Structure 1
Amino acid sequence: MDQIPATLGGNDRAQMGARAAETARRLTGQDVVAVALTWVDVSGITRTKTVPINRLEHAAAWGVGMSPLFDVFLLDDTIVSGRHIGGPVGDLRLHPVLDRVVPFAALPGWAHAPAVRFAQDGAVHPLDARALLYRETVRLGEEGWEARAAFEIEWAVSAGDGDAFVPAARGPAYGMARISELAPYLRELLTDLAQTGVTVLQLHPEYAAGQFEISVAAEDPIGAADTAVLVRETVRAVTLRHGMRASFSPKVEADTVGNGGHVHLSLWRRDVVNGPANAMAGGAGPCGMSAYGEAFAAGILRRLPALLAIGAPAVASYLRLTPSHWAGAYACWGPENREAALRFVSGVQGERDQAANLEIKCFDPAANPYLALAALLAAGRDGLAAGLTLPEPVGVDPATLDDGERTARGIAPLPSSLDAAVAVFEADDVLRDALGEAVVDTVATVRRGEAELLADATPEEVAAATRWRH
């Protein structure tokens, strides 16, 4: 995991410049002419500034200028103003993360670099989500733990370049027919991801028309978020190259299931002698979790209603988050229960010490992956500190239980609107303490702005407004 200093000093700048010069020479030898520096905004949209390869050294040492105002862009690029961010005044410096610069196989001649934002005086920007995630990862490490994470990437492929969604594959859900229909496209996608260094575990057709999913290998949290961005932008580029469009929206069409952005997350005890040990397996707790793994999971479960403002951050998210659609609409957990918001994945017997993990099913692709993981780690860390325990697992679709049964078992529906999720988020002291006042206020401001923007929209209009934004 690369380090992110709280403040850039002269030695940092000199070292980054020297490393960038060497990186630029290597990339030039691979016919790269430009580097896209990307960050993900509060609305979950990947934004960028680009530098020619001969300016990478300067960009690494001194950054690329940008306005703080990007933090309060809505999904339609209108701008709101919060207590901490707003107005035309101010400047940040965007610095490429040199450890993660890779040639962009899907865009020949280009390279990709995630970026971190600093103020002109060298202080890290309090709303930089990558730096927030780094801070949460360090806090977890100070307590002797590390986390591994991966995002499932779901998208729907539309034929042509129009704004209406026209499924580019018409085979049945999970059907081999869809692979046959789009075999050259999918082959090129896998090839480009491999050349970019992404370890793909599987690719398959999903439930909705024209929908696919890619699963990738788990990494440290920052690496997982970087990879999520890289995979999505590779999918987008390859899809366009084949004359189609890719939608990562939580709700591509109002009357079909949406795209999920499920997060897989596990907690590991650091051990320099025997290697890290998975706290989600080999213990005496529920489903074989250790007491620490259970506490970490319970911390996340307790805060799921508030976490929705981060992980299901769009108005369209709540069109997706409906019962009996495998979206995890109820705040409960269960082993291999795809209707529980928190699914426990045990893994195959014999591999559980490596494979056991939590799957957060209520999150979707509109989420900023860095901010989502930072909030999840903060919630899990609070569970560890409090020694929380999990309630009884749920082994059925919670929607099939009557209200009395759900109440007796402590199973509550998650917030059903963005406004409701934001209200819970703002009241959550644990997330406020972990993320900071500036983040909480800005997230709430942007979410309310988008809720107001689409307040009078029909589900069809919400889907259309969101379809091509993320």
Structure 2
Amino acid sequence: MSRYSREDILRTVRDEDVQFIRMQFTDIFGQMKNVAVTASQIERALDNQIMMDGSSIEGFVRIEESDQYLWPDPDTFAILPWRPQYGKVARLICDVHDPDGGAFVGDPRGVLKRAVRRAADMGFTFNVGPEVEFFLFQTDDDGNPTTATGDHAGYFDLGPLDHGEGTRREICLMLEEMGFEIEASHHEVSAGQHEIDMKYTDALRAADNLMTFKLAVKTLAQKNGLHATFMPKPVCGAAGSGMHVNMSLFRDGKNAFYDPSDPRKLSPLAYSFMAGLLAHAQGFCALTNPLVNSYKRLISGYEAPHSIAWSSSNRSALIRIPAPRGQDTRLELRSPDPSCNPYLAFAACLAAGLDGIERGLTPPEEIVENLYAMDAAQLRSHGVAELPDTLESAVAALEADEVITAALGPHVAGQYITGKRREWSDYRAQVTPWELERYLITY
């Protein structure tokens, strides 16, 4: 059942003095875009008549087929509370459609909707709860971001050590005003690093929420003279920012991962879903960890996994089983980072898990030892493979994984792989400060 009818939106726009509506959508590489219309155009917007030039969006369409239309999802209507309270600004998250009315095959939101429909055909609802980390940095006199934090706080510290506490509090309150359920927020392990955890919801709404979350964090940080970044590893020698993704399948309103008769209280479905995630972890890594910089986080010693293993409690494993059971039973995938496109990342994880269920896969033995302390020979003796160590190898693994590329579809897979290979090529051509410091004088 829809949360908002057409009449609800028209009445709210009128009664709340909404003057602008942002018609938002997301490109293949996870960047939010929008076409803004005035309140006088709201009926045209709700009739799917707002057009945009798709050829101007990387990975969308060619210039000779550029016209595309934004079809708003009424359930995503929300007033942006950080905008002016006189002449308010609202948003609608949109699906991208071709002129003939068909869904555009390159729309990331459409990719996730297809994956969710596949799960629904199997009787499942896919729920996702992300735990998002980010840094708050100071800006210089010209307003440009630095990597200075101004605080000396660590894990779970609070003010006055935590200089970002006020901004984090403001973010949580604004998001709750928009209907988000924030479960927790706290300072993370690195100076200037923060985490905000959102309660699980269905995957499409979770991805929509995550895009809104990123916008809110960056906007409110800027308002407070700070720069927020979801870059995975902005500071050498400090822990990077991850986005642990908690996943579960529900069937007939009950958590399908829970089985009270199992020693770990996990159902056969949970084990098969987990086995699918492990089997395709290399294949979807380019989606969950999409940047050159992502792979500087996935190394030992900085609380990020690099070994493809699972554990009931071991936080060095790729997949962990958090303690709650019953309706809260879930798998926690610890590798993703917040720079990912959530629509593509969630779709890939769902495709991997469903493949595990369809093929009746079983996971390898649980690893209880600290994987960070194992060398390559020890990992091999346990039969543990590792995640790709560069974007280049991750893209190669994605291209070779037929299950994940099929979930993306030929258009998105092709454009994404091409774009990421270009990013890797650009990176390889750079001369970094580390190289200059290391080699310029010595050689």
* TM superposition score normalised by structure 1: 0.86
Answer yes or no: is 1:365 the counterpart of 2:343. Answer: no
Q: Indicate the RMSD between aligned Cα atoms, in angstroms.
A: 2.3
Query: How far 1:22 sits from its partner (Å)?
Result: 4.3
Task: Specify which of 221, 230, 245 is matched with residue 203 of structure 2.
Answer: 221
1:126–1:439 CA contact under 8 A, matched in 2? yes
Aligned counterparts of 2:330 and 2:359: Cα–Cα separation in 1: 21
Q: What is the match of residue 52 of structure 2? A: 66
Q: What is the match of residue 123 of structure 2? A: 144
Aligned counterparts of 1:329 and 1:459: Cα–Cα separation in 2: 25
Query: How far 1:219 sits from its partner (Å)?
Result: 0.4
Answer yes or no: is 1:407 the counterpart of 2:380. Answer: yes
2:128–2:246 CA contact under 8 A, matched in 1? yes
2:218–2:227 CA contact under 8 A, matched in 1? yes
Task: Specify which of 104, 116, 122 is matched with residue 101 of structure 2.
Answer: 122
% identity of equivalent residues: 28
Aligned counterparts of 1:459 and 1:389: Cα–Cα separation in 2: 44
Secondary structure of the 2:429 match is coil
Aligned counterparts of 2:49 and 2:382: Cα–Cα separation in 1: 53
Q: What is the match of residue 77 of structure 1? A: none
Deviation string for 1:278-301 (max 9, x for gaps)?
A: 232225557221111111111111
**Gap change, CA 1:157 and 1:391, over 3 Å in 2:** same
Answer yes or no: is 1:323 the counterpart of 2:296. Answer: no
1:194–1:200 CA contact under 8 A, matched in 2? yes
Q: What is the match of residue 182 of structure 2? A: 200
Aligned counterparts of 2:360 and 2:262: Cα–Cα separation in 1: 13
Aligned counterparts of 2:227 and 2:112: Cα–Cα separation in 1: 31
Secondary structure of the 2:232 match is coil
Answer yes or no: is 1:277 the counterpart of 2:263. Answer: no
Answer yes or no: is 1:388 the counterpart of 2:374. Answer: no
Task: Specify which of 61, 67, 74 is matched with residue 98 of structure 1.
Answer: 74
1:307–1:425 CA contact under 8 A, matched in 2? yes
**Gap change, CA 1:237 and 1:89, over 3 Å in 2:** same
Q: What is the match of residue 292 of structure 1? A: 269
Matches within 5 A, 1:299-378: 299-347=276-324, 352-378=325-351
Aligned counterparts of 1:332 and 1:212: Cα–Cα separation in 2: 27
**Gap change, CA 1:423 and 1:300, over 3 Å in 2:** same
Secondary structure of the 1:227 match is helix
Aligned counterparts of 2:433 and 2:24: Cα–Cα separation in 1: 31
Matches within 5 A, 1:176-187: 176-177=158-159, 181-187=163-169
1:27–1:103 CA contact under 8 A, matched in 2? no
2:111–2:409 CA contact under 8 A, matched in 1? no
Answer yes or no: is 1:240 the counterpart of 2:226. Answer: no
Q: What is the match of residue 440 of structure 2? A: none
**Gap change, CA 1:369 and 1:141, over 3 Å in 2:** same
1:253–1:460 CA contact under 8 A, matched in 2? no
2:151–2:162 CA contact under 8 A, matched in 1? no
Query: How far 1:311 sits from its partner (Å)?
Result: 0.6
Q: Single out whichever of 258-267 and 39-48 deviates more from structure 2.
A: 39-48
Secondary structure of the 2:211 match is helix
Aligned counterparts of 2:108 and 2:63: Cα–Cα separation in 1: 21
2:308–2:387 CA contact under 8 A, matched in 1? yes
Query: How far 1:401 sits from its partner (Å)?
Result: 1.9
Aligned counterparts of 1:454 and 1:178: Cα–Cα separation in 2: 39
Deviation string for 1:168-191 (max 9, x for gaps)?
A: 433233212367634433332222
Task: Specify which of 20, 31, 38 is matched with residue 45 of structure 1.
Answer: 31
Secondary structure of the 2:292 match is coil
Q: Single out whichever of 442-451 and 104-113 deviates more from structure 2.
A: 104-113
1:43–1:366 CA contact under 8 A, matched in 2? no
**Gap change, CA 1:165 and 1:402, over 3 Å in 2:** closer
Aligned counterparts of 2:310 and 2:63: Cα–Cα separation in 1: 43
Query: How far 1:252 sits from its partner (Å)?
Result: 1.7
Aligned counterparts of 2:187 and 2:431: Cα–Cα separation in 1: 29
Q: What is the match of residue 250 of structure 1? A: 232
Answer yes or no: is 1:416 the counterpart of 2:393. Answer: no
Aligned counterparts of 2:2 and 2:434: Cα–Cα separation in 1: 42
Task: Specify which of 190, 194, 197 is matched with residue 212 of structure 1.
Answer: 194
Aligned counterparts of 2:381 and 2:261: Cα–Cα separation in 1: 26
Aligned length: 429
Q: What is the match of residue 135 of structure 2? A: 156
Matches within 5 A, 1:454-469: 454-457=427-430
Secondary structure of the 2:234 match is coil
Secondary structure of the 2:280 match is helix
What letter corresponds to residue 401 of structure 1 in structure 2? M
2:127–2:202 CA contact under 8 A, matched in 1? yes
Q: Single out whichever of 231-240 and 20-29 deviates more from structure 2.
A: 20-29
* TM superposition score normalised by structure 2: 0.91
**Gap change, CA 1:355 and 1:461, over 3 Å in 2:** farther
Aligned counterparts of 1:358 and 1:130: Cα–Cα separation in 2: 23
Query: How far 1:255 sits from its partner (Å)?
Result: 3.3
What letter corresponds to residue 299 of structure 1 in structure 2? G
Secondary structure of the 1:49 match is strand
Aligned counterparts of 1:237 and 1:316: Cα–Cα separation in 2: 23
Q: Single out whichever of 336-345 and 193-202 deviates more from structure 2.
A: 336-345
Answer yes or no: is 1:57 the counterpart of 2:39. Answer: no
